Structure formats: C-alpha cells, structure tokens
Amino acid sequence: MRRYVLTGPPGAGKTSILRRLAELGHGVVEEAATDVIARAHARGEDEPWRRASFIDEIVTLQRQRQLEASAAGSVQVFDRSPVCTHALAVHLGRPVSRTLAAELERITSEGIYERQVLFIRNLGFCEPTAARRIGFQESLVFERIHEQSYRAFGYELIDIPAGDLDQRLAKVNALISSHLS
C-alpha cells in the first residue's frame, strides 16, 4: 500500500487536487480537521479549536479514516496527516498530547505514509471560510510550521508550486503514477 500525503497551508488547493485525483481513480481520504470543525459548528459551537480536546479529535478521526481506507486499492492520497496535526498544535501553542504523540509514533514505526510528501504551495492568497478563519499572512506562518514539522519527522517535501489546477494535478498525478510501475 502506498499512502501519499498532500499538505501545505490553508487555502492552497489541496482539496481541489484531491477531488480531481479521485476522478482519475485514485483512492483518496478527506481532511479530518474540516469535518471536526463542521460537526462542532452543527452543534452551535463557533470556535472548536479553542477546546482542549480539539487536536485529539482530529487525530482520532485521521487514524479512523486511515485504518478504514487500508483495505482499498494499492495507492491512496490523504488530505493531510497527523504530522499536519502536529503543525496545528504548534501553531495553536498547544503541547503535543499523548494521543497525538502515540499516533505520530505509530505512523512512523509502521511506515504508514510515503516518506515523500506532496507539499502544495500557497496560491498568493487565502480565502477565509467557516472552517478556515485565517488570513494570508498567518497562512504563510502556518506553511513554514508545516515544513518544519514534516522535516523534523524525517519526510522529504516535494514542492507543488502555485499554478492552475490542471498543472498542479498533472504534477501530483505524474509523481504518484511514477511509483506505480
């Protein structure tokens, strides 16, 4: 099983690339944080990232999705990983919880994800959404924290530069496909 991670700053286009990869027949796994936030919003909670359990909820959903996806196909592409959740904890000024530390240890010791991570670069802007309340300048800080987290855990970043969706999709698909043969 080859599991690739798409990462990068908020609003970089990861989800758009992921959806197009699914159309091409690749197995894909959606980002967990957005769903954790959406569920909290549905319960009337405006800023769930302020809750102490927020990081652990993301990690738990990421693990669940990764384990559920394990039976499907020979290639999977994940919109973020627990290393991104580590970057989020750092960005929010939170300590690394036992749950997050255990999951980082598991994905490392079991070699869950490919060591080459597809780093989707910012587009030069960041549009806020209900789940993404971050401006462009803060997204650049978050982008650097992601780079630092992935490098600290021994991953190699493969840059996917800003460009139109078709160009970026072609580069990501070529990288993934080159490992299939």
Q: What CATH number should be reported for the domain holding residue 78?
A: 3.40.50.300
Range of the structural domain that residue 82 is part of:
2-178
* DSSP type of residue 43: T
Whole-number CA gyration radius for the chain: 15
> Which residues sit opposite 28 in a β-bridge?
77
Q: pTM of the full predicted structure?
A: 0.93
- The number of helices, as runs of H, and strands, as runs of E, in the chain is 7, 5
* DSSP type of residue 2: E
Angle between helices 82-92 and 98-109 (to 10 degrees): 150
**What angle is formed at CA 107 by the lines to CA 101 and CA 113, rounded to 5 degrees?**
140
The number of folded domains in the chain is 1
**Paired tokens of 144:** 């650097």
Quote the pLDDT of residue 98: 98
- Specify the range with the lowest mean pLDDT, choosing from 28-42, 69-83, 119-133: 119-133
Report residue 166 CA to chain centroid gap: 20
Quote the pLDDT of residue 120: 97
Top-confidence residue, 119 or 133: 119
Interstrand relation of 116-120 and 27-29 (parallel, antiparallel or unpaired): unpaired
Q: What percent of the chain has pLDDT over 90?
A: 79
Quote the pLDDT of residue 66: 94
